[in-house]
Structure 1
Amino acid sequence: MFNDTFDFVLSNSMNNLEPNEKLKFLNKYTCKKYTHGRPITDVKPSTFSSNIFLASYGVSDSISYTEPDGYVLVWNTTMNNQPEFIFISQPAVCTALFDKYNPHLIIGGTYTGNIVLWDIRAKQKPVQKTLFSGQSHKYPVYCADVIGTQNAHNLVTLDIDGRLCNWSLNMLTNPSYVIDLKKGNKEISCTSFSFQEGEIDTFYGGTDEGILFQAQIHGNKAGITHDHSIHNGPITSTHFHPLIDKTADHNDLILTCSVDWSCKLLSIKKPNNILYTFDSFEDYLTDVKWHPTHPGIFAASSSNGKIRLCNLSTDIDLSFFETTLINTAINKMAWSCDGKKLIAGDADGTLTLWHASSDVYQPRADDIAKFDSKIGK
């Protein structure tokens, strides 16, 4: 009664969930002035609030010459069709994320290879931007992540030409160091990458040839150390199993998805031994995300507008739940930090929000035990 942030509409929607309805549609978020005709290139949740998401937008075929090619909009799920913050970029934005250690900073990777930094306390334009030089990116950047701790963290970016740059967010003039990732003498084209939680040196990336590779950032072995051909087409997403309750029981598990219509589950302890292949999808897979609080659930999206939830704790062969966006492809999606919301960005510039039922974000003890048993087998 005295909680002025309580969302009564959302509460009613939660109560109205049917027993078999794992995701309840809540709202769509679009703004004709900024998002009309622009494909969403990335969606990321805030680590500080479950109601805050950002979306990055590419270039539209119908924009005028006075408009910027890219936008990053910060959306509050309690606000309808009006973004809370608007940031512009002259080149199209390929990826964007919140700085997990500073709620005021937003980082973007662009089509021209620039890394840009916005501050929500400042204006719409970037407060910092990388320069074109022989040591920085020259090609589109689709991979970016902040690694480290509160007191010592860096930005790692990787472009489609295989150049990895490590940056200090205090100064984006030049990278701290640069590594050109190669498989033998051949440069790789990286389409996605993922760090285990807490990891600052080793990461795994997917290429446009369907290869999952392991690479190191520091030391004498910096660069690609192992690679495995696991898909028959470009890998569109990779995602490590999160640390749930701060335990690393299954932190070695990684999901990959590809345009070959399949999603694969494997352990980096034995990457040659694929644990399971989910191959009953009907189109290109565009994204895959583990649930942040339920160890057995993940979501996979496809270019025919479908999102499928799979629950490895119940039946590994059958989908747990499925929902569809009509006549539009889903490009990216993200769970909120508490796992109660799922938001997806499509090719037409619209964000769609669902609320998850309690059996999705509140796993029972037997769900966890069943998942442990299945992974053990």
Structure 2
Amino acid sequence: MADKSDLKAELERKKQRLAEIREEKKRKEEERKKRDVRSQKSEAVPEDSDLDHKRRETEALLQSIGISPEPPLDRLHDDGPPSNAVKLFLISRSRTQRLGPSKITQVDFQPRELVTYSKETQTPLAVLQSEDEDEDEEILEPAPQLVPEPREEEGKQEAKEAPPRELTEEEKQQMLHSDEFLIFFDCTIRVMERALAEDSDIFFDYSGRDLDDKEGDIQAGSNLSFNRLFYDEHWSRHRVVTCLDWSPQYPELMVASYNNNEGAPHDPDGVALVWNMKFKKTTPDYIFHCQSSVVSVGFARFHPNLVVGGTYSGQIVLWDNRSHRRTPAQRTPLSASAHTHPVYCVNVVGTQNANNLITVSTDGKMCSWSLDMLSQPQESMELVYNRSKPVAVTCMAFPASDVNNFVVGSEEGAVYTASRHGSKAGIGEMFEGHQGPVTGISCHNAVGPIDFSHLFVTSSFDWTVKLWNTKHNKPLYSFEDNADYVYDVMWSPVHPALFAAVDGMGRLDLWNLNSDTEVPAASVTMEGCPALNRVRWAPTGREVAVGDSEGRVWIYDVGELAVPHAEDWTRLVRTLAEIRANRSDAEEEAASQLAG
């Protein structure tokens, strides 16, 4: 039994093996047939033409950038059965296209604007109108009004519906104290004050009917005439004007310095106000102050935004009108290397590219500063006469176009020449003639065909004004028409023979050496007779500014007196010759009386 079952199993295995061989043979036969059919098809396909080759390259390029090309029409009409072509077409149509963002340029064209206007002409008013005119009036229709676009109306409605948000109190205070608002408000309020203060004569008649009324004013142009008064109720009240100066860059600007107000101990002791002649506003353009009384002030030449001040404590302060702060932008230290006494003299000399600030204090110390750095002076010099006598300087002046040589007045009444550099640096010659402290000094600065830069005038507490020549140590002439202290004097910047002087009785005198040397050519007394401390000519020479002891600055028009003529230069030469001759005669007469 066991042998039969083993035989049967062996037969079954052999049958299974034969079936597997048959299947393998059949599979190989089918594969061979498929290979034959495939080879026959490849032989039947003709070689690609150049057009097909380029088409395939184009399709490959399009596919590389994400574009599936449409199948060519000749492939749709294939030799194969129609069903295959239709299927290929449907497959190509069913392929999804790749989408991506693209830039769209939108152009809006404004609607054509319809402009209508009416034209009129001036005709006499007729009482009766003709029938034709009535018919014309009936035919005329009112001009059509432009209808605003719906978008504009909607925008206006939205703007009306949305009111601005109410700021909180904290936001308001933060905005009011911001630097941007302070700068904007400071500039804007100055412009508004100028506009409100203007007072133009809108009724002026250009036909000439007003000339009869103005004839008196035209004839009065040869004398001093009041122009305006500068006074601020808060900053000028109970203060004394200590110095004046006109801006060399902006002729309409003038700065005035003031000392302390004893009635207002909480206000700053020193004040400097910048006034504007161009506009009729009654408030200063700029207000500067510091902790010590300002006894001298001046615009920094070649630096139009800077104002320099000398204080009673000895500090030099520098204000900048580009800053909205009123305190100094720079100041010198209170040390032995700088000034420790009142500085009554400040002057910027030099050229545009090389200039210095020259200061002199009453202890006889002269310092030269750079306006870029006031921490220490560039140069320092002790003004001593004969190497033993310190000079207490009260005033200083430089001749025209000279930055090295200068003249100074002193408390003891003597006048000195001095130099900044060279072998004779320091105090040079001494000029004696005054019997009191010298209060003012001015060099001849008028430019003309003849050089008079060697001339200078001085004022003093001895009630006199004296004319000097740097080549002689005795005064050429003494003007003795005043009855009080003469506080200041200044040559005209344009007229060779004209200078101004002010005294303690409120009198302003204009002296013209070519017309008379005994009495002034013009004189005016201020209202209330206050003591006049300072006088300064405007750069044009047509106005003169005067500061008094009550904090007021008076501006007077000089008129025709200030206009120089061609013969004034030669006439001054003759006048000086006559003065020298008279002085020689007086000296000889005095010598003969002493001898007799």
Q: TM-score when scaled to structure 2? A: 0.59
Deviates more, 1:12-21 or 1:297-306: 12-21
Deviations 1:251-283 (A, max 9, x none): 1100011000000111102233x2111012111
Structure 1, unpaired ranges of 5+: none
Deviations 1:313-332 (A, max 9, x none): 11122210100112311010
Distance in 1, Cα, partners of 2:385 & 2:374: 28
User: Does structure 2 conserve the Cα–Cα contact (< 8 Å) formed by 1:75 and 1:85?
Assistant: yes
Distance in 2, Cα, partners of 1:365 & 1:202: 29
Report the AA paired with residue 60 of structure 1: N
User: Does structure 1 conserve the Cα–Cα contact (< 8 Å) formed by 2:446 and 2:492?
Assistant: no
1:17 CA displacement: 4.6
User: Does structure 1 conserve the Cα–Cα contact (< 8 Å) formed by 2:385 and 2:428?
Assistant: no
User: Does structure 2 conserve the Cα–Cα contact (< 8 Å) formed by 1:157 and 1:165?
Assistant: yes
Indicate which of 361, 372, 392 corresponds to 1:189: 392
Indicate which of 348, 354, 368 corresponds to 2:556: 354
1:310 CA displacement: 0.7
Instruction: Describe the shift of the 1:258–1:25 C-alpha distance in structure 2 as closer, same or farther (beyond 3 A).
Output: same
1:376 CA displacement: 3.4
Deviations 1:77-103 (A, max 9, x none): 223320011111111101000012111
1:275-290 equivalent positions in 2, closer than 5 A: 275-290=476-491
Distance in 2, Cα, partners of 1:179 & 1:57: 28
Report the AA paired with residue 241 of structure 2: I
Deviations 1:190-247 (A, max 9, x none): 11011112111111101111100111112343211211222000000010001324x5
The corresponding residue for 1:256 is: 458
The corresponding residue for 2:342 is: 140
User: Does structure 2 conserve the Cα–Cα contact (< 8 Å) formed by 1:132 and 1:138?
Assistant: yes
The reply on whether 1:370 has 2:571 as its aligned counterpart is yes
The corresponding residue for 1:153 is: 355
User: Does structure 2 conserve the Cα–Cα contact (< 8 Å) formed by 1:29 and 1:80?
Assistant: no
The corresponding residue for 2:243 is: 42
User: Does structure 2 conserve the Cα–Cα contact (< 8 Å) formed by 1:17 and 1:24?
Assistant: no
Distance in 2, Cα, partners of 1:366 & 1:182: 42
Instruction: Describe the shift of the 1:15–1:130 C-alpha distance in structure 2 as closer, same or farther (beyond 3 A).
Output: farther
Distance in 2, Cα, partners of 1:159 & 1:94: 11
Distance in 2, Cα, partners of 1:223 & 1:137: 17
Instruction: Describe the shift of the 1:248–1:93 C-alpha distance in structure 2 as closer, same or farther (beyond 3 A).
Output: farther
Higher relative contact order (CA 8 A, sep 6+): 1
Instruction: Describe the shift of the 1:14–1:194 C-alpha distance in structure 2 as closer, same or farther (beyond 3 A).
Output: farther
1:124 CA displacement: 1.1
The reply on whether 1:68 has 2:274 as its aligned counterpart is no
Distance in 2, Cα, partners of 1:111 & 1:250: 34
User: Does structure 1 conserve the Cα–Cα contact (< 8 Å) formed by 2:257 and 2:272?
Assistant: yes
Distance in 2, Cα, partners of 1:20 & 1:277: 29
The corresponding residue for 2:234 is: 33
User: Does structure 2 conserve the Cα–Cα contact (< 8 Å) formed by 1:49 and 1:337?
Assistant: no
The corresponding residue for 2:190 is: none
Distance in 2, Cα, partners of 1:38 & 1:140: 18
* Aligned CA-pair RMSD: 2.1
User: Does structure 1 conserve the Cα–Cα contact (< 8 Å) formed by 2:245 and 2:254?
Assistant: yes
The corresponding residue for 1:224 is: 427
The corresponding residue for 1:173 is: 375
SS in 2 for 1:370: helix
Identity of aligned residues (%): 33
Report the AA paired with residue 437 of structure 2: P
Structure with the bigger percentage of helix: 2
1:277-356 equivalent positions in 2, closer than 5 A: 277-325=478-526, 326-356=528-558
1:133 CA displacement: 1.6
Distance in 1, Cα, partners of 2:566 & 2:220: 19
SS in 1 for 2:436: coil
Distance in 2, Cα, partners of 1:135 & 1:116: 16
Structure 2, unpaired ranges of 5+: 1-194, 205-210, 579-596
Runs of 4+ in 1 over 4 A off after TM superposition: 6-9, 11-15
Instruction: Describe the shift of the 1:161–1:21 C-alpha distance in structure 2 as closer, same or farther (beyond 3 A).
Output: same
SS in 1 for 2:473: coil
User: Does structure 1 conserve the Cα–Cα contact (< 8 Å) formed by 2:481 and 2:519?
Assistant: no
1:15 CA displacement: 8.0
Indicate which of 107, 111, 115 corresponds to 2:316: 115
Report the AA paired with residue 194 of structure 1: A
Q: TM-score when scaled to structure 1? A: 0.93
Structure with the bigger percentage of strand: 1
User: Does structure 2 conserve the Cα–Cα contact (< 8 Å) formed by 1:287 and 1:300?
Assistant: yes
Distance in 2, Cα, partners of 1:14 & 1:138: 56
1:298 CA displacement: 0.6
